[in-house]
A and B are shown apart, each in its own frame.
Chain A
């Protein structure tokens, strides 16, 4: 068997209260690598069509990859997958750092497939290949911090590593995430609600199994070279350790791509008040990092004075700062960190929560919702108290509007009506993150074509458009963007399958990954072959959504990005020429230009014969 894997997936049926081990087919390892690739294979083969994401028929998959838990830098990752109850993308995917991913492997499994629904709240205890389904009645309703502590105490082991949902997941808030090590989150697509729908509160792991390596000497030599490259790199070796992910606020604002007031503009003169430099000078206590992390971009902050004095914990990250900051017109880190800590406590995605509150603020601003909806709270841009209060209300489904917003943008807009759907800043029902599409056109195309919906982590076109890596590209041109995007999407799909932190790829190329994956697994990978795996995974994920009716009509952007010229900043007067770039994107992908469905010929070329037959029926 190839190495780097445990070779086993745990399948648990919560309805029956039974579990079994299944071997990972060897050809999966070569074709799909792990992580996202394995999950896509399983969901394509097993996910019933047309189901409700919160029904027992949904599958909730947890995966690691071959690099997870090895000495490869930043390998402390895992990811969750399933049908999203939040979006129309079908494919739900959320990745997290923290400490749990490696522990799942040490406990004996590459991944877990959770099926059905437990009759009563339960949690899983997985240790050295053994599995127990345990009563969770006493922790149901507890927040993330209490849950972690109670499980450790109950199992009598401080070193147990757990993932869990908070009250938001239990209450089926569609923005809910799955938390790891108190502060790290598999945040997007509402998979915390899927976990809650299964009455599954937590998964605790502990183990001492080894991850075997085919050629340890070569693997460690490759790791040494890779580490040197990371230390030598301006981003991984300096900027991220020094300022954390919030190094970006001033950079992105200067580029006119920092969304403000629900994406009404991409620049604000007070953005610096939310910046990484300000964070470092004011609230930072110390740097932290995930397991096996060599970058340590996480911040640990404390608010020492003012209305939020006493708020202490990890963060805030760049995306979080933007979501509760610029998106809501708030330029003070104390309020942002207070909202962030509520999200951690209750287990809810910061990007989604900030985005949807900013949307509600614009609805309030335009009179689409009123004091009658907000129960007298003036939900105006810049009102930090309202922002923090609505973070809590959404997480706990409190109040009329809190409960509506907890349903996510699309369902909330159905209830609110009055044209509110036109002001949603999202794609496929997933709220956009911290980059204004009118200021970065390649990134806009990335949003439109991301499999999971409005997302910056399926291809980070900010790299060429603002950071000048792997080559400097003009952010306000369509030229060359579709081609570069394809490379990025495939590279990221591969990294999400090998399952390490994407930040390493600021310093590393696919060839660097091949130099480590080859001695680890025994497969003779090249950078080219790894990108081919990425392309295969991307197409398989695409077919999961296409067979349920998703296609070109869904690969779109909010009207604001394509029809309203940017009012200020470097992109002033510009809109995104999306349709032009989409045509080129589909052509390069070998997809049908009219529908956005992969062609059978492309799928056969990637060894996806079953999917090719299915695609032929769709076209």
Chain B
């Protein structure tokens, strides 16, 4: 079984998302094997009981037409991939949703 979670995220700094994903891994006791940070991307490799989990984020900083008032801001493309069993993938999916959950009402 495998899980591939992909999402586009506006406005949240990529380094904040890196910390979020590390915390998601930690919450599921996934050992972080490697963290690679580059100029406009980062990648984390983790494993738990032989299950491989990868997270990768690439981002651009630019003005979003429909959100011009924010000026230049980050647009991140996040991918999380897992080769765990169904139960593990389900837990991982839920942890991703909760670990990245943000935003309130005005």
Contact in complex: A503, B104 (CB < 8 Å): yes
Contact in complex: A251, B67 (CB < 8 Å): yes
Residue in B7, B95, B97, B105 whose CB lies within 8 Å of A487: B97
In the bound complex, how far is the Cα of B23 from the Cα of A327, in angstroms?
A: 44
Contact in complex: B103, A506 (CB < 8 Å): yes
Residue in B23, B69, B75, B103 whose CB lies within 8 Å of A463: B103
In the complex, whether A318 has a CB less than 8 A from a CB of chain B is yes
In the bound complex, how far is the Cα of B67 from the Cα of A254, in angstroms?
A: 9
In the complex, whether A131 has a CB less than 8 A from a CB of chain B is no
Of the candidate stretches A238-246, A363-371, A382-390, the one touching chain B is: A238-246
Tell which of A239, A248, A318 has the most Cβ of chain B within 10 Å.
A239
Contact in complex: A468, B99 (CB < 8 Å): no
Tell which of A239, A472, A509 has the most Cβ of chain B within 10 Å.
A509
Contact in complex: A510, B66 (CB < 8 Å): no
Mark out the residues of chain A between 453 and 503 whose CB falls within 8 Å of any chain B CB in the assembled complex: 456-457, 460, 462-464, 466-472, 487-488, 491-492, 495, 501-503
Q: Is the interface of B mostly helix, strand, loop or mixed?
A: mixed
Mark out the residues of chain B between 23 and 62 whose CB falls within 8 Å of any chain A CB in the assembled complex: 23, 27
Q: Knowing A245-B106, A470-B103, say if A238 contacts B8 (CB, 8 Å).
A: no
Contact in complex: B69, A250 (CB < 8 Å): yes
In the complex, whether A421 has a CB less than 8 A from a CB of chain B is no
Contact with B along A225-238 (1 / 0, CB 8 A): 00001001111001
Which residues of chain B are within 8 angstroms of A247 by Cβ–Cβ distance? 69, 106
- Give the contact-size bracket for chain A: 35 or more
Residue in A234, A467, A472, A511 whose CB lies within 8 Å of B98: A511
Contact in complex: B7, A472 (CB < 8 Å): yes
Which residues of chain B are within 8 angstroms of A255 by Cβ–Cβ distance? 66
Which residues of chain B are within 8 angstroms of A470 by Cβ–Cβ distance? 7, 9, 12, 97, 100-103
Contact in complex: A487, B67 (CB < 8 Å): no
In the complex, whether B83 has a CB less than 8 A from a CB of chain A is no
Mark out the residues of chain A between 312 and 343 whose CB falls within 8 Å of any chain B CB in the assembled complex: 318-319
Tell which of A243, A462, A467 has the most Cβ of chain B within 10 Å.
A467
Contact in complex: B9, A469 (CB < 8 Å): yes
Binding site for B on A (CB under 8 A): 229, 232-235, 238-239, 243, 245, 247-248, 250-251, 254-255, 276-277, 318-319, 456-457, 460, 462-464, 466-472, 487-488, 491-492, 495, 501-511, 526-528, 531
* 5 residue pairs, one from A and one from B, having the closest CB atoms: A468-B10, A463-B103, A502-B104, A471-B7, A460-B105
A-B contact pairs, 27 of them (CB 8 A): A229-B16, A232-B16, A233-B12, A233-B16, A234-B11, A235-B70, A243-B69, A248-B106, A318-B106, A456-B105, A456-B106, A460-B105, A466-B66, A468-B8, A468-B75, A469-B12, A470-B97, A471-B8, A471-B100, A472-B9, A487-B101, A492-B105, A508-B102, A509-B100, A509-B101, A509-B102, A527-B27
